[in-house]
Structure 1
Amino acid sequence: METTSFRYPDALVTADWLSAHLEDPGLRIYDCTTYLRYTPGTGKPYTVESGRADYDAGHIPNSAFLDLQADLSDNRSGLRFTILPPDALADRFAAHGIGDDSRVILYSRGNMQWATRVWWMLRYVGFDNAAILDGGWDNWAIDGRSVSTTATRYPAANLTADPRPDLFVGKDLTRAAIGDTSACILNALAPDLHSGANDRYGRPGRIPGSVNVPAADLQIGERRLFADPGIVASKFAAVGADPAKRIVIYCGGGIAATLDAYLMHQLGYEDLAVYDNSMSEWANDPELPIETD
């Protein structure tokens, strides 16, 4: 039987590898953690809390902190985590020390989706030399590896943008994919949100015709390691996510979707897009169709 493996091994590193390379001069390590504090009954699905305080309390040595909402998103938008234009985003990354010759390692706490969001954003601006730390902070801390409380700030660098604008889509292109036999719309949210049993984002339900592979099911246990590539591949195959199709992935705000997108990229899917504002936008626009079980 053929064994499934990830296609881009350089885009995923282990804690052992990082421990051995912490002092590499060209390495740029970033804690990307953000927290969503769910607030039922308030009219908002969640409030956003920076992970900076936890970073200050202890982080992987030589790692800097990236604040996704404050530093890397379009704060003119009424929606959280809206993607910036690629040239502007490249400038933000460069200000945090990511340059054309950098080797970047990304991690987060509690859920690797924050690291995969930044990884997907780097690909969007045309930067490919970034990797996810498998298991992130959780796996690192469980093993009792070295921790620092000294904040790192890398010197500004020069990052040349070579945009891939098709990696993110808005509501219009997402709507156009409904009923398109050459496309597959995939929801990375939990099953109760997909079915409509939970109305966290506004109108309950899902984008019509979409299938469900929850991002949470692709990480294993308290260490938050990625599931085996064969298991991941079988989950996407089971819902009809054909690699020959255009795959549009969504979630609540374009974060969990990037974890699915990262793993699909690792499995060789080539035509992938993340719906940036996802259900935070879709569920609150009465002009857009929605369905429930």
Structure 2
Amino acid sequence: MTDQLITVQTLEPLVGTDRVIVIDAREEEAYEDGHIPGAINIHPSELECVETLACGTDVPHQLRPPLEVAAVLSAAGVTSGTRVCIYDEGGGFLAARLWWILDVVGHSRAQLLDGGYFSWATETAAIEDGFTGAAPAEFVPSPHGDRRVGFADVITAIGRPDVVLCNSLPYDAFLDETIPGSVSFPYTETFAEESYPLMRTRHELAAGFAEQGITQRTHLICFCGIGYSASQLYFAARYSGMHRVALYDGSMVDWSAHGGQLVPGQL
């Protein structure tokens, strides 16, 4: 498996070659204003849909079926063996959301650009605007269904000693309301305070998770409001070396839509 994180220095000589496909996960307007040369634009929302529950409630930003995701990736020239580098503005979670999606559908050669576009633009003058096309390819999905969980999975997980539900929202939001039995690890704490928006080291992340009782033996379920900032926490957990990690797609919006109770969090 390709290392999950790549630096500007490592990416720079690869840009413009056939050794990597660079994906800008930002909004189209930001991409058009300036992006890494040769980068294509795929916002995570292109790979999502609205799910209508049996009760009639709509839950937005749900991952589309694997074959539909594969069609978008194929149109972008991505195959299962393509090395992919994903970035957003830096310090956010759009790139991580896209990385999680690729992880779910079985792509094991995706990397996040450490520091995102901010670091790239700060360290190099290589910028282009407009749109970049891609030669179509064929992506064949090999889904990892255990990396995306839903309401029934979370209900079953609550109270299990080997499972930790982890809320990635800021502390004040966690204290206001959260899924019962969950702990707090704000996604912003996955970034290095002294060199933001670069990521913390693997060791630092593992230590941060350990403070919440999360270890290599833990089955970690990450969630937030809708599943976006939790993607950054998911990435950080995987980057720190954890393997039993899943994301609750739809998160607290889906939880509430199913009638789940939200309670004040406790630090």
Using structure 1 for the length normalisation, give the TM-score.
0.83
Measure the CA separation in 2 of the matches of 1:9 and 1:216: 24
Measure the CA separation in 2 of the matches of 1:111 and 1:183: 27
Q: 1:260 — aligned with what?
A: 233
Measure the CA separation in 1 of the matches of 2:125 and 2:203: 29
- Contact 2:178-2:264 within 8 A present in 1 as well: yes
Q: 1:72 — aligned with what?
A: 47
Measure the CA separation in 2 of the matches of 1:123 and 1:115: 12
Q: 1:37 — aligned with what?
A: none
Q: 1:242 — aligned with what?
A: 215
Measure the CA separation in 2 of the matches of 1:20 and 1:73: 32
Q: Which residue type is aligned with residue 97 of structure 1? A: G
Residue deviations 1:140-169, cap 9 Å, x none? 122343110142111111111111111101
Specify the SS of the correspondent of 1:184. strand
Specify the SS of the correspondent of 1:74. strand
- Contact 1:26-1:101 within 8 A present in 2 as well: no
Report the identity percentage.
Answer: 26
Q: Does 1:185 align with 2:180?
A: no
Cα displacement (A) at 1:110: 4.3
Q: 1:231 — aligned with what?
A: 204
Q: 1:275 — aligned with what?
A: 248
1:210 pairs with one of 174, 182, 185: 182
Query: Compared with structure 1, are the counterparts of its residues 269 and 19 closer, same or farther at alpha carbon in structure 2 (3 Å cutoff)?
Result: same
1:291 pairs with one of 260, 263, 267: 263
- Contact 1:28-1:105 within 8 A present in 2 as well: yes
Q: 2:88 — aligned with what?
A: 108
Superposed structure 1 runs of 4+ greater than 4 Å apart: none
- Contact 1:112-1:135 within 8 A present in 2 as well: no
Q: Which runs of 5+ in 1 are unaligned?
A: 1-7, 34-50, 197-204
Q: Which runs of 5+ in 2 are unaligned?
A: 53-57
Q: 1:145 — aligned with what?
A: 125
2:192 pairs with one of 196, 220, 225: 220
Aligned length: 259
Q: Does 1:28 align with 2:8?
A: no
- Contact 1:187-1:257 within 8 A present in 2 as well: yes
CA RMSD in angstroms comes to 1.7
The answer to which of 245-254 and 137-146 deviates more is 137-146
Measure the CA separation in 2 of the matches of 1:185 and 1:266: 18
Query: Compared with structure 1, are the counterparts of its residues 134 and 110 closer, same or farther at alpha carbon in structure 2 (3 Å cutoff)?
Result: closer
Q: Which residue type is aligned with residue 80 of structure 2? A: D
Q: Which residue type is aligned with residue 215 of structure 1? A: Y
Q: 2:63 — aligned with what?
A: 83
Query: Compared with structure 1, are the counterparts of its residues 29 and 258 closer, same or farther at alpha carbon in structure 2 (3 Å cutoff)?
Result: same
Measure the CA separation in 1 of the matches of 2:201 and 2:19: 30
